[in-house]
């Protein structure tokens, strides 16, 4: 049967059972504390991306799905280059102390049993967190982590106060909620308009005084808190703090939101000039590796409505023109039954991208011809084409990369090339 390539919860951080202000005091702990490090960084040459070192709390009060969601978000941010020139390394720890925080740029307190449980936990030393942020560290608190860090949660307790300008209301609502980004949110998060995020009894916040920034507000009244802050940024000493009521790390997952909030909280400067990944002259890629990268590019495009700056294939970060050559070559080979390793070519970018395509389906025979035309053009000109001619009109470079990413993502799942691929205006 022909298939179009327009292919078509988890427990989190509630805060409903906490009691008094129980900020724990920091104290020395033995050296047997287990900290599991999971680094996604790569060895880069000079001029390489800035690396932000992130510690994620994973103790008994933290929800495992929230911890996993943060890790997945950071891994995706790395593989899809969601923040230009920035990479994230991360570790998890079941304890939070001064010595464990040492060497990290930011602490993530994820969703969990509730903010009050974090405040009472013998595994978490509140003074260590306060001093870490005061001395310039960053903090990202999601749901329970937001409640615990706020100045005050109405009807329950005083938090650590590392978001001194923010108070919160405990929300008893589970279900996805729309949030609307403010101008500050658009500047920091790089998103605008309204977006639906996962919500599990997360905080509804407001500013008790000036000094903090609201990045997003709840956009409907399902929870009873329409117009209240959903995501805020605050300052404590020399550090910055982000509190999020909803869960951008859970489904629907938005790794770019997590990444951009961490960048802001750590005061990391993001380059406006795209990084130029270095590719060894002998770099090769298997068809299977290209399929995996294609699925990643497809997802990125459908989420962000643009191509990523580069994609990681076999440990190398490749620009979209180089990846276009791999996509086209892999498609041709799969059509002929070959899975030979493909050598990466140096391909210059398309100088003036254009296109005028009608919505419709490009049949297999035609997209194979288009793939051959891509390879021929690149071999002759040393650069990517601005557009490709099809029966539906001209397919721009951008849409061509997305289209062939869909083709190979389909092959990765179905183990065959699709009979046709859908394109749209």
Rounded to whole angstroms, the Cα distance separating 353 from 37 reads 42
Q: What is the mean pLDDT of residues 18-47?
A: 34
Nearest to 287 by CA among 268, 314, 310, 266: 314
Global pTM reads 0.61
Say what the pLDDT of residue 329 is.
97
Q: Quote the tokens at residue 215.
A: 């990045």
Rounded to whole angstroms, the Cα distance separating 389 from 362 reads 11
Say what the pLDDT of residue 85 is.
87
Find out whether 105 and 282 touch, Cβ atoms under 8 Å.
no
Domain 35-265: CATH class, spelled out: alpha beta
**For residue 2, pLDDT beyond 80:** no
Rounded to whole angstroms, the Cα distance separating 144 from 110 reads 7
Q: What Cα–Cα distance (Å) separates residue 299 from each residue in 197, 274, 290, 334, 416? A: 17, 20, 14, 22, 19
Q: What is the mean pLDDT of residues 329-350?
A: 94
pLDDT digits (tens, 9 = 90+) for 304-333: 889 988 898 888 888 999 999 999 999 999
Say what the pLDDT of residue 335 is.
96
Nearest to 200 by CA among 334, 110, 73, 87: 110
């Amino acid at each position: 049967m022909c298939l179009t390539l327009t292919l078509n919860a988890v427990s989190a951080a509630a805060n409903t059972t906490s009691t008094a202000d129980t900020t724990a005091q920091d104290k020395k702990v033995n050296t047997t504390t287990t900290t599991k490090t999971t680094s996604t960084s790569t060895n880069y040459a000079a001029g390489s991306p800035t690396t932000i070192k992130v510690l994620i709390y994973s103790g008994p009060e933290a929800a495992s799905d929230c911890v996993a969601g943060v890790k997945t978000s950071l891994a995706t941010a790395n593989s899809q280059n969601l923040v230009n020139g920035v990479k994230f390394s991360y570790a998890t720890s079941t304890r939070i102390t001064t010595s464990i925080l040492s060497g990290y740029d930011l602490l993530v307190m994820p969703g969990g049993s509730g903010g009050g449980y974090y405040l009472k936990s013998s595994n978490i030393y509140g003074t260590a967190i306060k001093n870490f942020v005061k001395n310039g560290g960053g903090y990202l608190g999601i749901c329970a982590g937001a409640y615990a860090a706020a100045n005050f949660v109405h009807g329950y307790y005083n938090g650590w106060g590392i978001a001194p300008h923010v108070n919160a209301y405990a929300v008893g609502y589970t279900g996805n909620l729309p949030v609307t980004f403010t101008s500050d949110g658009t500047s920091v998060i790089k998103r605008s308009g309204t977006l639906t995020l996962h919500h599990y009894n997360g905080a509804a916040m407001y500013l008790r005084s000036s000094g903090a920034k609201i990045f997003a507000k709840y956009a409907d009244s399902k929870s009873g808190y329409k117009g209240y802050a959903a995501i805020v940024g605050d300052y404590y000493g020399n550090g910055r703090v982000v509190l999020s009521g909803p869960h951008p790390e859970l489904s629907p997952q938005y790794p770019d939101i997590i990444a951009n909030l961490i960048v802001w909280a750590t005061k990391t400067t993001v380059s406006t000039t795209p990084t130029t990944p270095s590719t060894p002259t002998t770099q090769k890629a298997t068809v299977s590796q290209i399929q995996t990268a294609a699925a990643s590019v497809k997802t990125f495009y459908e989420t962000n409505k643009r191509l990523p700056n580069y994609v990681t294939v076999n440990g190398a970060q490749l620009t979209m023109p180089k990846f276009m050559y791999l996509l086209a070559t892999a498609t041709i080979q799969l059509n002929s039954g070959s899975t030979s390793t493909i050598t990466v070519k140096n391909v210059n970018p398309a100088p003036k991208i254009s296109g005028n395509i009608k919505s419709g389906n490009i049949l297999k025979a035609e997209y194979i011809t288009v793939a051959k035309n891509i390879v021929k053009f690149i071999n002759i000109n040393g650069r990517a084409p601005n557009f490709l001619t099809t029966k539906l009109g001209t397919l721009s470079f951008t849409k061509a990369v997305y289209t062939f990413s869909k083709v190979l993502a389909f092959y990765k799942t179905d183990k065959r090339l699709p009979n046709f691929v859908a394109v749209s205006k």
